[in-house]
Amino acid sequence: MLGPTSILEKAMRADGAVAEYTIVKKGTAEDDAAKAVAATDKAFGIAQHAAADNERVNVMLMGISKVLYGGTVEQGDLLTSNATGAAIATVTASNRIIGVAMAGGVSGDIGAVLINPGSV
- 51 confidence band (pLDDT: 50, 70, 90): very high
Looking up residue 92, the CATH number of its domain turns out to be 2.40.300
In terms of Cβ atoms closer than 10 Å to its own Cβ (0-12, 13-18, 19+), residue 94 is exposed
Number of structural domains in the chain: 1
Per-residue confidence (pLDDT) for residue 1, from 0 to 100: 66
**58-103 tens-digit pLDDT:** 999 999 999 999 999 999 999 999 999 999 999 999 999 999 999 9
Q: Flag whether pLDDT at 115 surpasses 70.
A: yes
Per-residue confidence (pLDDT) for residue 23, from 0 to 100: 98
Query: What gap in Å lies between CA 120 and CA 58, rounded to an integer?
Result: 26
Per-residue confidence (pLDDT) for residue 95, from 0 to 100: 96
33 Cβ neighbours under 8 A, 6+ residues apart? 12, 13, 14, 15, 18, 24, 25, 26, 27, 45, 47, 57, 59
**9-29 tens-digit pLDDT:** 999 999 999 999 999 999 999
81 Cβ neighbours under 8 A, 6+ residues apart? 22, 23, 25, 36, 37, 38, 39, 41, 43, 87, 88, 96, 98
Instruction: State the CB neighbour count (10 A cutoff) for residue 18.
Output: 26
Give the predicted TM-score (pTM) of the model. Answer: 0.96
Mean pLDDT of 110-120: 96
Residue 87's domain comprises 1-120
The one-letter amino acid code at 105 reads: G
Q: What percent of the chain has pLDDT over 70?
A: 99
